[in-house]
Structure 1
Amino acid sequence: MGSLGGLRAPRPPAPKTAVIADDHPMIRAGIRQVLEEFGDVEVLEEVDNGLDAVRAARTRRPSLFVLDLSMPYARGVEVFVEIRRQSPETRIAVLTGMSSSGLLAELTSAGVDGLFLKRGDPSVLARGLRLVLEGAKFVSPDVVALLEARPPGPELSPRERQTLSLVAQGLTNVEIGERLHISHKTVEKHRTSLMAKLGVHSMSELLAHALREGLLDSLSET
């Protein structure tokens, strides 16, 4: 027998899913508790390093990915960019212990969906993650305060930041190109652009400036 009046019952909304990436078990446990208290979010997996974070994005394709910026094996904006590439529909919220206004500005420019400091108010994190899950963008008030106090300076693209991080690790142009799947000539262009934007004339000056200004996120995590 067909449905009454030819009408079908509405389908229930698809369950929301999440992956948590942080190398501190207590942080992961706290985030899991926040998400589970929503009542409609299933935490599919917890990971503690950058490589597993990228793998989880590719295989799980969750509704929400809560990401720490500094973990073993792969770090910082490099992981964010790769997760976005592997699972474009996933909403990404970054929860970081870093307070570099330069890095925070780059993350907002790169299109992060949520941005929070680990030292922030847990109630703000809960409210913000709920909004991110519902499709909104959310930057916590403490991050906004840091961004508003930031003096104007050059904006680095996510790819330039990736290059800078790998240069700091001592990789050659060829090795960086292999890591980022670009040619060594493109890597050289990124290096040249970095030096021009930051007003330096050698690689040693570039690294010293980047460390001083908090641009080397992989070295600045607390």
Structure 2
Amino acid sequence: MTRPTAVIADDHALIRQGIRQMLVSGGIDVVAEAADGLEAIAMVKKHQPHLLTLDIAMPYSRGIEVFTEARRWAPQTRIVVFSGLTSTALLGELAHAGADAIFLKREELKAFSDAIPHIVEGRNVLGPGVAELIDASGSAGVLTARELQIVGLVAQGLNNRDMAARLGVSTKTVDNHRTNLMRKVGVHSVAELLAYALREGLLDASRET
């Protein structure tokens, strides 16, 4: 039987080494490692691995963007996300996008090690910390992909008319999205929305470590 293969994507060499040891112990061949988002996408396209372990915050490309491109070029690859961020919006976005497994970096490594056989078999796994955060937040705490786009455009200083032109929708639609997301996160001004986005790591996750 052919052994499963994996690509490890993380900008910290020590973390890549630890993940490699766990994967190899779990009977998986590591065929490549990547230290940034662009390299991760290239390695996934080249090797079409059974498994990709993905740091959500790496240089050159946000983890959610790497996730989307990996899905595009290697739809059969199972993707395990590691996050140093505890944003329920980000974790919820990843879960909604179809991440096969999500773990917080602060969790015990044993949680991932124990889950490897289940992930390879095709089961979806949430680390204990991730499941707790998502359960505690409820569905109201999870922003949609469009709402996350709106947050990014607000951060760029665009008004509703400019956002509508950028997104190809009506100004009224933008206003509805903006109103809904501000109600979801419990803020009442642009300044409060931006403070929330910075705190939750939604504006530029690639700058987080």
TM (normalized to structure 1)?
0.76
| 2:8 counterpart of 1:20 | yes
Unpaired segments of 5 or more residues in structure 2?
159-164
CA distance in 2, matches of 1:91, 1:152: 25
CA distance in 2, matches of 1:116, 1:22: 14
How far the C-alpha of 1:100 sits from its partner, in A, is 1.4
CA distance in 2, matches of 1:166, 1:47: 30
CA distance in 1, matches of 2:93, 2:127: 15
Q: Which residue of 1 aligns with 2:45?
A: 58
How far the C-alpha of 1:121 sits from its partner, in A, is 1.4
Q: Helix, strand or coil for the counterpart of 1:153?
A: helix
How far the C-alpha of 1:215 sits from its partner, in A, is 3.0
| 2:134 counterpart of 1:156 | no
Q: Which residue of 1 aligns with 2:162?
A: none
Q: Deviation per CA, 1:69-109: give whole Å up to 9, x if none.
A: 01110013122111111111000000111111221122111
How far the C-alpha of 1:209 sits from its partner, in A, is 3.6
Paired amino acid for 2:16: R
Matched-pair contact (CA < 8 Å) for 1:36–1:42:
yes
- The aligned length equals 200
Matched-pair contact (CA < 8 Å) for 1:19–1:43:
yes
Paired amino acid for 2:39: D
Q: Helix, strand or coil for the counterpart of 1:89?
A: coil
C-alpha change, 1:68 and 1:219, in structure 2 (3 Å) is closer
Unpaired segments of 5 or more residues in structure 1?
1-12, 173-182
Q: Which residue of 1 aligns with 2:68?
A: 81
Matched-pair contact (CA < 8 Å) for 2:143–2:181:
no
C-alpha change, 1:206 and 1:93, in structure 2 (3 Å) is same
Tell me how large the CA RMSD over aligned residues is. 3.1
CA distance in 2, matches of 1:152, 1:117: 19
Matched-pair contact (CA < 8 Å) for 2:92–2:143:
no
Q: Deviation per CA, 1:15-38: give whole Å up to 9, x if none.
A: 211000000000000000000112
Q: Helix, strand or coil for the counterpart of 1:104?
A: helix
How far the C-alpha of 1:167 sits from its partner, in A, is 6.5
Q: Which residue of 1 aligns with 2:113?
A: 126
CA distance in 2, matches of 1:217, 1:103: 11
Q: Deviation per CA, 1:23-81: give whole Å up to 9, x if none.
A: 00000000000001123x11110001111111112111100000000111001312211
CA distance in 2, matches of 1:52, 1:79: 10
User: What is the aligned-residue identity percentage?
Assistant: 43
CA distance in 1, matches of 2:167, 2:101: 34
